[in-house]
């Protein structure tokens, strides 16, 4: 991960490098993809909540992609992960599956 700084997708706090990072993987609905951002950070718009969340698009051949995830949301804690998960579960038009 190098020195790249991540921001928690849920509370938007900076995640310091060196601390354990929690990631929430999601599988997009058929036909949805973000080919322009593969392997990079991008923002996904959630129509139900009207929020923009930052996430990583999994790179081809990466472990996360091999496990079937299209996007990874980085979160700062398990608590944020759980909050984020319930938020994402409301966006039934976007996500097929949430880890
Ligand atoms: Zn957080």
Q: What spatial distance separates the first Cα and last Cα of the chain, rounded to whole Å?
A: 21
CA of 74 to the centre of ligand 1 (A): 9
Contact indicator for 48, 66 with CB cutoff of 8 Å = no
Q: What is the pLDDT along the chain (99 residues), one digit of tens a residue?
A: 445 678 899 999 998 777 677 899 999 999 988 888 899 999 999 999 999 999 999 999 999 999 999 999 999 999 999 999 999 999 999 999 998
CA of 2 to the centre of ligand 1 (A): 20
CA of 8 to the centre of ligand 1 (A): 5
CA of 16 to the centre of ligand 1 (A): 12
CA of 20 to the centre of ligand 1 (A): 12
- The structural domains of the chain, with segments of one domain joined by +, span 6-92
């Amino acid at each position: 991960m190098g020195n790249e700084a991540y921001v928690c997708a849920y509370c938007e706090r900076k995640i310091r490098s060196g601390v354990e990072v929690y990631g929430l993987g999601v599988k997009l609905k058929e036909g949805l993809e973000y080919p322009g951002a593969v392997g990079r950070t991008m923002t996904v718009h959630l129509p139900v909540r009207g929020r923009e969340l930052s996430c990583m698009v999994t790179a081809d051949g990466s472990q996360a992609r091999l496990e079937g995830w299209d996007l990874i949301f980085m979160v700062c804690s398990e608590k944020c992960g759980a909050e984020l998960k319930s938020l994402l579960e409301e966006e039934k038009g976007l996500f097929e599956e949430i880890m």
